[in-house]
Amino acid sequence: MTTLKPLLAKNRSWALQRRQRDPHYFRQNVDGQQPHSLWIGCSDSRVPAEVLTGAHPGELFVHRNIANMVVSDDDNFMSVLQYAIEYLKVSRIVLCGHYGCGGVQAALTLPDIPLGDENSALARRITQLRHALSPALAPLSAEEEQGAHLNRLVEANVLAQFSQLVNTGPVVKAWREGVALDLFGCVYDLHSGHLKELIQQQNEEGCV
């Protein structure tokens, strides 16, 4: 029978260690949050934003979904983006993909994968992802290995989603109002644990 006891035990141990290092560690976030960044990442359990960046509670405002997608008709995503920019006043947005992304692999093999009901949310998102990746879905060349091909598509996805992000209403509005807001597109390497920056943009007329 599955229980929550192992997670609760680890939570108690973590909290105790933090208090031993700093008795005021948890008090600093009681009255509110002031994160410096919004992190848009993949829901993959191997890519936890706070862990891989060494961030503490209160530093990152996080939204994660399959294949780190930027979807303008996703109310959850758009509300997170608007709240982060307009209310939390974050100064940085990090869009992060990762090599070995299952969502990208699913888009590559569609329609062969069994997604179930074609009207399901998962099927719609994978279809949208495949559409976003369509310019990069060239056949695998004789010189390119399968792994390198998938890595190229992961990077292409970050660039495609980044292009969507810079054109979202909250970002455009912030830049028009002169808000200091920097956007970054990164990819995470599961093998090394390192982040790799692919693209950045600082303002509406900035260079990418």
Cα separation, 165 vs 97, in Å, equals: 14
CA 40 to chain centre: 3
- Name the residue type at position 86: E
The tokens 């808000």 sit on which residue? 179
Q: Is 191 a catalytic residue?
A: no
**Catalytic member of 46, 56, 176, 194:** 46
**Catalytic member of 63, 96, 98, 186:** 98
**Catalytic member of 44, 63, 125, 186:** 44
Q: Is 18 a catalytic residue?
A: no
Q: Is 98 a catalytic residue?
A: yes
Backbone torsions φ then ψ of 44, nearest 5 degrees: -50, 130
Q: Is 117 a catalytic residue?
A: no
**Catalytic member of 42, 63, 125, 186:** 42
**Catalytic member of 63, 96, 101, 125:** 101
Q: Is 101 a catalytic residue?
A: yes
Could you give the residue numbers annotated as active site? Answer: 42, 44, 46, 98, 101
